[in-house]
Amino acid sequence: MTATRRPLLRGALWALAIVALGAVFALYLRPDLVFSLATQIWACF
């Protein structure tokens, strides 16, 4: 990779990570989803 493309790729990966974390945090604002996930995980045990 060239020296100019590496910072662009790194910035794009950071942006993708921030968007993914934001989506996860937004889902946790829905209590019904959190309860449903907890119930499904607890059912595994």
Q: What is the pLDDT along the chain (45 residues), one digit of tens a residue?
A: 555 678 889 999 999 999 999 998 998 889 898 899 899 999 998
Using CA atoms, how far residue 5 sits from 13, 15, 17, 18, in Å, is 12, 15, 18, 20
pLDDT of residue 45: 87
- What is the 8-class DSSP label of residue 28? T
